[in-house]
Amino acid sequence: MRSSDSGIPEIDLRSVRDALKLRWWIVPLVMLVSVGFLFANESDLQTSPGYVQIVRIYEARDETSVLTVAGIDPASIIPYPSFDNQLLVLQTPETRQKIADSINAETSVSVTRSEQKFSLLDTIEGEGKKRFTFLSVGIPSYTFGCAAPTADECNTALDAYVTEISLLRAESIRQGFERAERLVSAVVADSQTGSQTLATRQQALAFAKTLVTGEMALISTTSENVGPTVGTVKPSTYAFGLGVGALLGLLIILQLTVTDRKIRTVRRLVATVGAEKVLGVLRLDRQDQSPQYVAAGLVHQAALHGSTVVRLLPVGDGTADSISTALSEALPGQGLIISVMNSADRLTTIELLPPQHSIVVLVADTRTSRTDDLEKVWTIAEHAGNAIAGVILVQHST
């Protein structure tokens, strides 16, 4: 047998080509895995967001402005508690727990109120004097913000908070109306002659109080999905993943080719034992002349060694029964006996000893036989005194 002088493996490009034919499926598989990994890295593969954030803006109705019809300054109606303090009441643990019990959920909602705006009005009075008046302009707005796992939870919580702040507003405005109404009533009662104007204003306050609802109008709603969602992967990312996957697949095949010890090709067998010891290739699953060619080589080897018995010794886990049958059918009337030995791990001492006028032919299978097994079996048979005629390689089409 041949032995390599160097322990460094050599790369045969034809072996790589054969390995590509045998293991081509590794390349698309690695490409698919590579693209999947890049896609998973670009997005978190979640079809639902981490949570939903909804913001609503409401405009509060100015429910004291109707008093100007009766000549009452709306600024004289002071809500109790004030609008700013109502937000503090809304954020107390008691109020939050009350709302949570009504909706059966613990959802945090933030509420803010826009700052009041004022305008400076100056008027000229007699004798060159000026009068400056601060007037409130615009209507304050309320901003409600909520963050929850689902939009339904947010909307339910927001509705509950809007209802609560509306109730607080209505109650505080009524308190302001009642205070003004009591003051006017006291003035009317103390007046000896009474005043038609004060009586009219008293009636206006009583009627306006019944119109207070605390209603607020929805101005805008914004909704945003916050957290990881499925992202769109750029085509260039897919192209990069396919390219990297193809390169990795080829490197894997190359590595398997270098480290593979199986005798998959005739070239591998020739590199192991030498061309003169290769007696031929059998393709049992094809309709060709390979059995006749191998049989002719056996007849020639038997004649060279003066033998009438050819013993087939399998290398590895394979068997040589079908090979023996095919070769016997290809040797009618040649007077050559072909027998099959057990595989090397099941050989007995009697089988190892060579009978007279016999030669041994090793049978390597591309699926199961390894180069180290071939070297081992060759050495065992040769040390037992057998004449090694050569090696037959059995190939499979699939």
Examine the fold and report which residue of 181, 204, 226 is the final residue of a domain before the chain moves on.
226
Q: Is the pLDDT of residue 149 over 90?
A: no
d(C-alpha 314, C-alpha 347), whole Å:
11
Closest CA to 112 of 137, 83, 153: 83
pTM over 0.75: no
Q: Is residue 280 part of a domain?
A: yes
CATH of the domain at 389: 3.40.50
d(C-alpha 107, C-alpha 116), whole Å:
29
CA–centroid distance for 313 within its chain = 53
**Ramachandran category for residue 335: left, alpha or beta (phi over 0 → left; psi -120 to 50 → alpha):** left
Q: What is the pLDDT of residues 274-301, one digit of tens each?
A: 888 998 888 876 677 788 888 888 888 8
Give the domain extent around 374.
262-395
- Residues 221, 271 within the same domain: no
Q: Is residue 279 part of a domain?
A: yes
**Once rounded to an integer, what is the mean pLDDT over residues 355-372?**
88
Q: Is the pLDDT of residue 350 over 70?
A: yes
The CA distances from residue 31 to 19, 24, 241, in Å, are 18, 12, 7
Q: Is residue 42 part of a domain?
A: no
- Residues 187, 297 within the same domain: no
Q: Is residue 178 part of a domain?
A: yes
- Residues 195, 310 within the same domain: no
- Do the beta carbons of residue 221 and residue 54 sit within 8 Å? yes
d(C-alpha 96, C-alpha 105), whole Å:
11
Q: Is residue 115 part of a domain?
A: yes
Q: Is residue 233 part of a domain?
A: no
- Do the beta carbons of residue 142 and residue 111 sit within 8 Å? yes
Q: Is the pLDDT of residue 142 over 90?
A: yes
Q: What is the pLDDT of residues 370-387, one digit of tens each?
A: 888 899 889 988 888 899
